[in-house]
Chains A and B, each alone.
Chain A
Amino acid sequence: MSSITAEPASHGHAGAHDAHGHGAHGEHAHDPTLAHHFESHAQQFDSAKLGMWLFLATEVLFFGGLFVAYAVLRNRFPEVFSYASHYLDTTMGGVNTAVLIVSSLTMALAVRFAQVGKKGAMLLCLWLTLAGAAGFMVIKYFEYEHKIHAHLVWGTTFYVPPEGHTGAEESKALAAAPEPSAAGVTVADPTAPALPVLAALPAVDAPAIKPAARAPAGLATTHEMARAEGIKEHVSREQTEHQEKLHLEDRKLPPNTHLFFAVYYAMTGLHGVHVVVGGFMLAWLIWRGMRGDFGPKYYTPVDVGGLYWHIVDLVWIFLFPLFYLIH
């Protein structure tokens, strides 16, 4: 862990403090920023930093599972990924990438200002980073909102024809409905494909049928089926350029296209959760910073918080090209 390079001054101070024989822990009662079980500030700082690096390792593996899922599914359905990535809005994704990179810069500056004791500049940078987090989530919200509206989502809902707001509600019911109970299956929307078939079957078979119910139209002939269901009437021409051709109308729609969106929502969703957590962390740092907790002698929370923020940024740096840029 050779990461501790930027704070020779503080370390020198802590080291001197230590060398002057303040090792006995009773002395530390005067210093509220040094926990009783550490011998020195340097030891405490190094421990916190190593702990955060380990936590980042767990984060990498946490997302790693999803990256593997991406790789496996992309390998299995290359045509799906190449087709569906056109539905993502590169401009919004690009702006979000810029927002996160800038927020990483302001975070790094906040650490630096904490080290040199410039409280006002540090707080400004933390506020800017927090604004970056919020801005990212706002843009992400609009992206999600457009896609959900156009049924560019995971699972069977992908195949439900877009028909305004009620359509989205009903499709949610469809996705949620196949939780069959012993008593049988409730049919949320009688027009939904395959559900009437499901309801007609004996209740004992319900668990076995559920997967089938989930993919009523997820077959090679999706668009024909969609046509047969009379989707064409519901087509809205006011979609964005990508969605000008509604996906269900597209004759080139590959089977299992919903899987792209499954991975997309899983990965960007989990990343979004991390951005929100990072936002709370930044708010906490700002609160402590305003209280005057941080200075050249003690800035551990800013430093390890910065590490966390950088990994959140870094994950997005991989997500952006994987979903938006490569086809």
Chain B
Amino acid sequence: MTTINANPDAVLDTHASSDNYLTHSRGFLSWALTLDHKRIGVMYLVGVLTSFLVGGIFALLLRTELLTPGATITADANTYNQWFTLHGAIMVFLVIIPSIPAAMGNFVLPIMLGAKDVAFPRLNLFSFWLWVGGALFAVFSLWRGAFDTGWTFYVPYSTTTEMGGVVPVVVGVFILGFSSIFTGMNFVVTIHKLRPPGMTWFRMPLFLWAIYSTALIQVLATPVLAITLLLLIVERTIGIGIFTPSLGGDPVLFQHFFWFYSHPAVYIMILPGMGIISELFAVHSHRHIFGYRFIAYSSVAIAIFSFLVWGHHMFVSGQSVLINTIFSAISFSVAIPSAVKVFNWTATLYKGNISLTTPMFYALSFLVLFTIGGLTGIHLATLNTDVHLHDTYFVVAHFHYVMMGSALIAMIGGLHHWWPKMTGRMYNETLGSLACIIIFVGFNITFFTQFMLGSHGMPRRYYDYKPEYQSYHVISTIGSYVMASGFLLTAWCLLSSIWLGRRAPANPWGGRSLEWQCPSPPPHDNFPVQPRVGDCYDFSCVVWKEEEQGYIVDRSLDPELNPNAPKRAGAH
């Protein structure tokens, strides 16, 4: 890769032309069979957000049912069981896991590298269609009689329940797993082999570090889920016996297998979110990210820890005291890299030139919600409190703070951050910020009350409850309606911008990484030649340009790209 010398242009060509990735070719097949990572990313985004809508509707049904003890909108507890199972399975497997890596990562990652595409474009398209196939199996399972196992498919219930939809949905999740594996492989190879000249490992945007760590987990953890689900299928269909206690099999072995994937999977959800937040804080406070190396290393550290803590899901499943103690101690230590990130983000804000944009609102929301979600994780990693809190609403609130309040909020923040790049349009900032505040308030009303519910002993997954819990349930349900209205407002804000929004400049926020140095929306090939890069968090060469109503990256000001650039004091 010695072909490209320092780019002679002071500013890369960012003028939007009529030929961009959206207009490059037309017709259904030009999308369905596209190898363009940007189109695949957009298709994932549509799929993920549609699934989010469906999963959200199930969530609202659940909360509405819980307004009163006993029957509220359905008299059948089994229907309720199906709702929470569908809510969980859709949100985990169809929404959060593919949301940031597959949707945002696909769109942004190759552009950040200045590459024309990911390393294996065909495999990338195949991953997308696997995702669609997995989703169709999930729908098919509803037709076959649905399922009520919870998203965890614990044996022996999942192998004995009468519901006919278990095998189809497990096949669906198996397929989704391979979609995730292939995406991860693609990203690891792309980051290893397609980095542009000048971008060493410690010059990568932190989003790429996060995606890289995530991809490693996807590649190494998901196959274990695949084999577990395969065994579950043969257990249910031909009674192979490995997990069935009456045949001498071991149901706790299933739990070990399942969590060996599914604990790392929660880091598949949160790590890319952390990567987005690193970008948002740096770009929207126009300040060099604080502690770059620490944030990068902490992503890798979290990825490594993620493989060593699965046992904390099974503190009450009959593990030995020694094993419980070890898993508890390792689970505590996850707090270290997580806190390293939080402190570095806060330090980035300090003395930053903060723009209170919509993405910044989401980043700040993330900071609060992730801190709460992370700290309550400590309660659950503590052995004696966990015995009390296990399978209560405390756990429900904790993982919603992390999976929704953190991972999904980061994803929506990133969506606002890159929306102008994806669509070429600016949304209404006031509306976007307002929606973020409504979601933030609604989220806390919904889930903070559930910490109270849980510590008072309300078990999760229950259709009915004692009347003394009702006030909390009512508050929580009202919060969920507030949150839903916030999401509807967000949807309106973004979708209306496609028709009503003003044209987006190439660099509306003042970003420095390569995706802000190509037109909005990007052309089919992203960059004619892979550009040389400098420090992507050095914002001193990012200058506002009035006539474009956006920023430009003046490469002649960067001493790395231009030896004659004026020396600056305090440059990183």
Contacts and interface: CB of A to CB of B under 8 A. Distances in A.
Contacts of B219: 54, 57-58
Contact of A18 (B3, B121, B237): B3
A40 B188 CA distance: 19
Given A18-B3, A54-B189, A154-B241, A62 B226 contact: yes
B382 to A, nearest CB: 28
A182 interface: yes
B160 A266 contact: no
Which residue among B4, B116, B241, B256 has the maximum number of chain A CB atoms within 10 Å of its CB? B241
A279 B251 CA distance: 35
A68 B227 CA distance: 11
Contacts of A263: 242
B247 A69 contact: no
A214 B239 contact: yes
B563 interface: no
A208 to B, nearest CB: 7
Interface in A166-212: 175-176, 178, 180-182, 206-208, 210-212
Interface string B184-223: 1110111011100000000000000000000000011111
A259 B242 contact: yes
Overall SS of chain B's interface: helix
Contacts of A325: none
A140 B190 CA distance: 39
Among A21, A65, A208, the one with the most B-chain Cβ atoms within 10 Å of its Cβ is A65
Interface string A30-68: 000001110110010011001100110111011111101
A265 B237 CA distance: 15
Given A39-B3, A50-B189, A64 B231 contact: no
Nearest to B247: A215
A63 B227 contact: yes
A296 interface: no
Contact of A73 (B226, B242, B257): B242
B1 interface: yes
B248 A37 contact: no
B543 interface: no
Contacts of B123: 51
A262 B241 contact: yes
A7 to B, nearest CB: 17
B247 A155 contact: yes
Most chain B beta-carbon contacts within 10 A, residue among A50, A76, A156: A50
A255 B4 CA distance: 70
A269 to B, nearest CB: 9
A76 B224 contact: no
A37 B116 contact: yes
Q: Which of A37, A43, A62 has the most CB of B within 10 A?
A: A37
A24 interface: yes
A297 interface: no
Given A58-B220, A211-B156, A51 B119 contact: yes
B181 interface: yes
Given A61-B223, A69-B253, A72-B253, A23 B4 contact: yes
Contacts of B253: 68-69, 72
Nearest to B228: A65
A262 B253 CA distance: 15
Contacts of A18: 1-3
A114 B247 CA distance: 51
Contact of A77 (B4, B181, B244, B248): B248
B231 A218 contact: no
Nearest to B231: A266
A214 B1 contact: no
Contact of A65 (B1, B116, B227): B227
A47 B117 CA distance: 13
Interface in A133-166: 154-156
B526 to A, nearest CB: 9
B193 A155 contact: no
B519 to A, nearest CB: 18
Contacts of B118: 37
Nearest to A22: B3
A288 interface: no
Contact of B189 (A51, A215, A266): A51
Contacts of B186: 51
A62 B227 contact: yes
A61 B1 contact: no
A155 B223 contact: no
A18 B1 CA distance: 8
Closest 4 CB pairs of A and B: A23-B3, A256-B248, A65-B227, A37-B116
16 contacts: A36-B117, A51-B119, A54-B184, A54-B219, A65-B228, A66-B227, A73-B250, A155-B239, A207-B160, A207-B162, A208-B160, A211-B245, A214-B239, A215-B244, A256-B247, A262-B241
Given A39-B3, A65-B257, A256-B247, 10 more contacts: A18-B2, A19-B2, A37-B115, A37-B116, A54-B185, A69-B231, A73-B248, A156-B247, A218-B246, A255-B248
